[in-house]
Amino acid sequence: MSSPSVIPVPPAVAAHARIDEARYKAMYERSIRDPEGFWAEQGRRLNWIRPYTQVKDVDYTGDVRIRWFHDGTLNACWNCVDRHLPARAGQTAILWEGDDPAEDRHVTYGEMHEAICRLANVLKARGVKKGDRVTIYMPMIPEAAYAMLACARIGAVHSVVFGGFSPESLIGRIQDCDSAVVITADEGLRGGRKVPLKANVDAALEHCPAVHSVIVVRRTGGKVGWAEGRDVWYHEATAAASRDCPVEEMSAEDPLFILYTSGSTGKPKGVLHTTGGYLVFASMTHEAVFDYRDGEIYWCTADVGWVTGHSYIVYGPLANGATTLMFEGVPNYPDASRFWQVVDKHKVNIFYTAPTAIRALMREGEAPVKKASRQSLRLLGSVGEPINPEAWLWYWNVVGEGRCPIVDTWWQTETGGILITPLPGATALKPGSATLPFFGVRPVIVDNEGNHLEGATEGNLCLADSWPGQMRTVYGDHKRFVETYFSTFKGMYFTGDGARRDEDGYYWITGRVDDVINVAGHRLGTAEIESALVAHPKVAEAAVVGYPHDIKGQGIYAYVTLVAGEATTEELRRELVQWVRKEIGPIATPDLIQWAPGLPKTRSGKIMRRILRKIAANEHGQLGDTSTLADPGVVDDLVGNRMNRA
């Protein structure tokens, strides 16, 4: 195998590096040798109400305890907004670009402060107190950030639910955390199409009697249903509210937000992040990984419904006093040049997106990119799934013209912030590798028995020690937290990812090793899709696996066994696709459904997913050992009728 090419730090970047290779090494070494001292210093990037004297209090064994800065107090909204006012009241905080290229808005720190205070007072008037949960189901408009920060201001815990999720999914997420208040909009707007957010909320709330207040932002002016007493227009309520709202003093370990994410089993879990450590880590990683410099325009294309939007559209950039661009639309509307048109229009310096978007745009050729100058760009980022070297090189050559370092950032909802990544001024790049650990991060690769593997190797990716942005628990289910992340390999956090470490110590994430799939950067549990399928009256059994997909990274392949006597029709296939969309949301749309008279099971009844994954990948020549199957004959049928023949 030819060794992959190495791209050194471009000389122009090296000349201005704040963290060069030597400094990275020294800082990294210090962060591992003396985490307490290192993070004690880093914690000071925030303004604390009562300074911490304790830094790290972590035990990965037994019940698992993770605390950072725990005797300090602060407020996250204060750190993201108020403290910048003396110097930045007139600086743009949120640069909003609408779905329609003719629409944009510059929101200054001063304006944002007022909007947040007014909304916080509306929440208080509706009875929201410190510790209460508020569900946010919003399009990509500045009010989504105000909603998050208004919660943080008064100590309420926000749970943002991605606007692409169905009413069914919304019900589960509202009920799990007992929200009594929902903040939404009449409709969202994406790619010229309307998303019926308020109607979805109305449908969900039929099953959530505890919700007494719905605050509705008027985005499109579309017609919506109205529950008198429960529903209130954002613009009316905030106009009537006071613009003064003191911040709540929070302990560093008070919850900041819950974000639901899929796991290998069961319902999505509420990942809980707390205030101090999370914000220190989001702020520090934003500054170091994106090399953010005062006055620059920074654009992360994620949705605030995902952790990327939390840490790298809202909390990290705003904690750093940055100008963060928030984009309502999609990469291919009105056409495939949109991203680069926006880059030129707003003179974007730092651009952070997902491999699936890069692959989709790559397919459109170079012309849409070349239509824009992109001269303002100096740094590119990638997140959400492994980026294949071909897409990486296109991003590097065509978009960045060989001038802009690419930071391929590996992290997870659970990690709160970036853990494995290049630093633009310090790290020679290898296309497809997330490269090296961030400060304080101790990746280890273990075999299936938990033995540490040294040197160049491949196995399960774990983290040997904590970092301040780490999740603290699964909301309402600490036992599940311990079982999911700390029981497979004792004394370590298990990521669920596989990784290879090369001879230079660079990490190459190989993808999930559990039953989680990553479809266009969206994380889905195969178990969730299976339970949606079997909820259909005609479905007896279902098994879902991922398979390689050119644009989406992974596609969704479902094997479905029908109830005896039901006919395997095209109509039913379409109906099941719609059914899953309705149960979970469009992101879970099955790509391929294969009728399976039987599923390959062991004699103890366990479905052998390894075999299903091979057939779905059209690698049925390499099925491996099938001798332990209860009925080896089912495999021939599945291979013969496989759906992916690519």
Known binding residue 310? Answer is: no
CA distance linking residue 493 with residue 481, whole number of Å:
10
Q: Which is nearer to ligand WT7, 154 or 463 (CB)?
A: 463
- Spatial neighbors of 568 by CB under 8 A, at least 6 apart, are 562, 595
Structure tokens at 306: 């995902």
**Is position 78 annotated in a ligand binding site?**
no
Give which of 111, 72, 132, 117 is closest to 247, Cα–Cα.
117
Task: Give least dist CB 347 to ligand WT7, A.
Answer: 26
Among 24, 411, 438, 493, binds ligand WT7 (CB under 6 A): 411
- Work out which of 383, 517, 539, 580 binds ligand WT7, going by CB under 6 A: 383
Residues 6 or more apart in contact with residue 396 via CB below 8 angstroms: 7, 380, 402, 404, 406, 431
The answer to whether 385 is annotated as binding is yes
> Hey, is 248 helix, strand or coil?
coil
Q: Is 30 exposed, middle or buried (0-12, 13-18, 19+ CB in 10 A)?
A: middle
Residue reference for tokens 């491996």: 624
Residues 508-537 that bind ligand WT7 (CB under 6 A): 509, 511-512, 518, 523
Please state, in angstroms and rounded to a whole number, the distance separating the CA atoms of residues 27 and 367: 42
Q: Could you give the dihedral angle defined by the CA atoms of residues 114, 120, 122 and 123, in that order, rounded to the nearest 10 degrees?
A: 160
By the rule CB under 6 A, 308 interacts with ligand WT7: yes
Q: How far apart are the first and last CA of the chain?
A: 25
In whole angstroms, what is the distance from residue 625 CA to residue 252 CA? 52
CB nearer to ligand WT7: give 412 or 568.
412
Site string for ligand WT7, 417-456 (x = CB under 6 A): -----------------x----------------------
Site string for ligand WT7, 481-510 (x = CB under 6 A): --------------xxx-----------x-
309 binds ligand WT7 (CB under 6 A): no
303 makes contact with ligand WT7 (CB under 6 A): no
Among 31, 92, 251, 261, binds ligand WT7 (CB under 6 A): 261
Closest to ligand WT7 by CB, 120 vs 300, is 300
358 is a site residue for ligand WT7 (CB under 6 A): no
In the set 248, 385, 530, 591, which binds ligand WT7 (CB under 6 A)? 385
Question: Token digits for 182?
Answer: 């929902």
**Could you tell me the smallest distance in angstroms from the CB atom of residue 644 to ligand WT7?**
22
What are the backbone dihedrals phi and psi of residue 496, each rounded to the nearest 5 degrees, phi first? 85, -5
Of residues 423 and 509, the one with the C-beta less far from ligand WT7: 509
**In the complex, least distance from residue 161 CB atom to ligand WT7, rounded to whole angstroms:** 14
Q: Which of 68, 137, 260, 410 binds ligand WT7 (CB under 6 A)?
A: 410
Distance set, CA 330 to CA 97, 110, 191, 532, 589 (Å): 11, 29, 6, 27, 18
Q: Which is nearer to ligand WT7, 166 or 495 (CB)?
A: 495
For the record, the structure tokens of 457 come out as 């190797």
248 neighbors 265 (Cβ within 8 angstroms): no
> What tokens appear for 492 in the block?
């370590």
The answer to whether 191 is a known ligand-binding residue is: yes
Query: 3-state DSSP call for residue 360?
Result: helix
Q: Phi first, then psi: what are they for 582, rounded to 5°?
A: -70, -40
- Residue 584, interface with ligand WT7 (CB under 6 A)? no
By the rule CB under 6 A, 200 interacts with ligand WT7: no
280: which 2 tokens? 């220190």
Instruction: State the minimum distance, in angstroms, from the CB of residue 438 to ligand WT7.
Output: 12
Which parts of 389-408 interact with ligand WT7 (CB under 6 A)? 408
- Taking the least distance from each CB to ligand WT7, the nearer of 384 and 600 is 384
Please tell me whether residue 179 binds ligand WT7 under the rule CB under 6 A: no
Q: Are strands 73-74 and 250-251 parallel, antiparallel or unpaired?
A: antiparallel
Question: Is residue 601 a contact residue for ligand WT7 (CB under 6 A)?
Answer: no
* Contact status, residue 469 vs residue 282, Cβ threshold 8 Å: yes
Count residues near ligand WT7 (CB under 6 A).
23
Total residues belonging to the chain: 646
Query: E strands of 301-390, at which residues?
Result: 323-327, 350-353, 379-383
Please state, in angstroms and rounded to a whole number, the distance separating the CA atoms of residues 169 and 185.
Answer: 17
- Site stretch for ligand WT7 (CB under 6 A), options 29-37, 47-55, 228-236, 410-418: 410-418
Sequence ranges of the binding site for CoA: 190-193, 308, 332, 581
For the annotated binding site for Mg(2+), the residues are: 534, 536, 539
| Binding residues vs ligand WT7 (CB under 6 A) | 261, 306-308, 383-386, 408-413, 434, 495-497, 509, 511-512, 518, 523
Can you say which residues are annotated as belonging to the binding site for ATP? 384-386, 408-413, 497, 512, 523
Which residues are annotated binding-site positions? Answer: 190-193, 308, 332, 384-386, 408-413, 497, 512, 523, 534, 536, 539, 581
